[in-house]
Structure formats: structure tokens, C-alpha cells
Amino acid sequence: MRRVVVTGMGVISPVGNNVDKFWDSLKNGVCGIDYITKFDATDFKVKIAAEVKDFHPEEYMEKNEYRRMDLFAQYAVAASVEAVNQSGIVNSVDPERLGVYVGSGVGGLITFAEEQTKLLDKGPLRVSPLFVPMMIGNMASGQVAMKFNAQGVNLPVVTACATSNNALGEAYRAIKFGYADAIIAGGTEAPILPIAIAGFTNCMALTTRNDIKRASIPFDRKRDGFVMGEGAGSLVLEDYEHAKARNAKIFCEIVGYANSCDAYHITAPHPEGKGGKRVLKESLEQAGFDKDIDKLYINTHGTSTPLNDKTETLVIKGVLGEHAYKTAISSTKSMTGHMLGAAGAVEAIASIKALQYGIVPPTINYAESDPECDLNYTPNKAIKSDINIAASLSLGFGGHNACVVFRRI
């Protein structure tokens, strides 16, 4: 079995459209949440979101390319351009040994909504012939593959909010067992539109507290729902020997991955966090983690919902015991909002940058402690820490759980 490393990263996010800007925002506690500009939210209970700002698709692809893509696919290609350029992988690998694992939780909702309106207002003949290839959830992975002539394994994962952690983990396994030499992996989402905001609001997932500074407040006693985010994260995963042979810059090694299902409820986590405990425990065991707690950072799912944050705290304590109270923990969703299928990949990048610089990003806007959430969530200000291992944890609707572990190299 082969070692797997990360040689490139790219991001489109509410706090920056490249990795350097994204990381600078996270370590300085910059909040990407503001009032919705993508549509008129006057009649909506929820009026805020974490939107991507100043995104220009022509900076990443030709006009004839992006005009045939839903925004979720545009984000995926843009993030992948940065990751691939950073890695230099395209001219260094056989196209049949280069894969793409880019997932999305909901796919092309914008296209779906726009074409449904055309159907109702103007009749069936006005529906675009590109409706299906722009809308289907696998197309981000397909578009990235076409952009970089990646003819190898291709697996667009769909596991709700655990999507891109599963994509990263399955890509890791594919390289580890020899099915590819490199894979562009991650997730993407563009869900800030009326039907999505209304649907998530009515299932009581989103906060209706339209206070930018007190909306996404993971682990805070007053948390009452997440803030919708959008964007994409992309990482180039590569066989270690292949990367070393071409003198690639290596950011970290992937040393653990596990996934499970609660099989309990369509939206709520298992009350004892059974599935979450399994993935955190198994992935840390694969990494050879020996409870050297001063060296561990956990980037939590940390959605700012009452059930998730309470359950995730139980998960961490259940796996680490008393060591949990000494562990560096934070939720970067306090800054980016919840990017759904893109969350895991973007948070993996945050975890890798934390390892690279020895800085734990904060959980911002934290004000009131909750006795059921009693760990060190790095409130409000980043801290320096000599960490050498980072776990990125994701828990999704449908009971999907995934954890990926990275080690400094």
C-alpha cells in the first residue's frame, strides 16, 4: 500500500477566492456572513448567508465553457485550477492515471430553478437543451476531468454535508491501493437561491437570527441553526513516491480516513454520536495517534445547530476521554457558514494550513458557554500551537459521517 500526500490546494469561499486569502481570513477571524444579495430576501425569515464575493469565472475558464455550467460546477473548476496549477500535476502524470473525485450535496439547483420557471412561464419548448448536463450532480466532476484531461478514476460522491470528506477519503484509498497516481478531489456547492433558503428554513435547519455577528455561533449556548454558505474546495492527492520523483512541494500526508452511517434519522445525528465516534476513532487509529494531545487539532463539523454541536462534543469526549479537554478544537463555519457538500474540502484545507503554520483558527463570535459543549473551541482568536496531526470531521443529513486525518511531513 502506498503513502498519499497533498501537493495542491484551491478554494472559492465566502472569505477568499484563493488559498492565501482564505487562510489569512481564517487566522484573523474574518466573517464572510452578510445580507443576501443574490435575490430579494424581503419576504424570507432568513435574510443572511455566506456568499462568495467577486467571483469572475472568466479568470479560470473560457466563456464558451462557463456558459454551459451551473455555478456549482464553475466553482469546482475554479478551485481546481488553483490546486492543479499549484501542484504542477497535469504534465507530470499519465492522463489515465489522473482521476477526479469532486462531489456536491445538491448539484445544479440554480439551473433547475431557472428552467422550471421557463417551463411554467413559457412552455416546454423553452427549456434549455443544456438543462440536464448543467443540473446533474456529477457534472462538476466531469467538467474538472475535461478541463485537465483526467481520464482515470472518476467518482462524484453525494453524502450531504459529508460529501467532500468522503470524496477526499475515497480518493485517498484509490491512490493507496494503486488505482491512480493522482486525484483532484473535493466538493462544491451553490445553494444560495430562494427555493433552497426556503426549504432549509422550513425544515428548521437555518438560524433565523439575522444578526451577522451572532448568527453562526458554533458551540455557543444561543446557537439555533446554521448559516448557508457556498463555494468549493479542491485538493490534489498524489502517491508519495510519484510526488517525490518529480520534486513536487508536499504540504502534508493523509494518514487516516473512515466513514459510517448512523442509520438513525433523516436529519438528526444519533443522540450518542455512535457513528461520529466510530469515524474519529478509526481514522485516528489508522494515523497511529497515541494521544499526544498537544499535537492534535480537530476541525469540527461545528454547524451552530443545537443537536450537532452537542453531539459532536460527545463524539470527541467519547474518543479522547479526558484528553479531549486539552485538544485544540475549532469550527471555521463560524466564518464561512455551512458550505454543505463543499464544507469538508474547504475545512481540510483549513486543517492543512493550520499544520503548515502551527496556528489553530478560531471559532469566532463565541460569547456564551454551554454546559453540554464544554471543550476548548478556540474562542474568537487564533492561537499558536505545535500541532502535527489534524482531523477534519463531517456529519451529514442521512446520518453520513466521515473523518480525514492529515499529518505534517
Where would I find the H helices in 221-305?
Answer: 240-245, 274-286
Q: How far, in Å, CA of 388 to CA of 296, rounded?
A: 6
338 classed as catalytic? yes
- Angle at which helices 274-286 and 306-320 pack, to 10 degrees? 40
Among 252, 338, 373, 403, the active-site one is 338
- Angle at which helices 194-202 and 109-122 pack, to 10 degrees? 110
Among 161, 252, 373, 403, the active-site one is 161
In degrees and rounded to multiples of 5, residue 90 shows phi and psi of -60, -45
Among 301, 373, 400, 403, the active-site one is 301
**What does each C-alpha distance from 198 to 204, 207, 232 come to in angstroms?**
10, 12, 22
Q: Which residues of 229-263 are buried (b: 16+ CB within 10 A; e: fewer)?
A: bbbbbbbbbbbbebbeeeebeebbbbbbbbbbebe
Question: 400-407 and 389-396 as β-strands: parallel, antiparallel, unpaired?
Answer: antiparallel
Residue type, 29: G
Contact by Cβ (8 Å): 137, 159: no
Q: What is the largest CA-CA distance in the chain?
A: 64
Contacts of 296 (CB under 8 A, 6+ apart): 289, 327, 328, 387, 389, 390, 391
DSSP lists the bridge partners of residue 338 as 228
**What does each C-alpha distance from 138 to 5, 52, 107, 256 come to in angstroms?**
25, 22, 8, 26
Contact by Cβ (8 Å): 73, 190: no
Cell 460569547, located at residue: 367
161 classed as catalytic? yes
Report, as residue numbers or ranges, the catalytic residues. Answer: 161, 301, 338
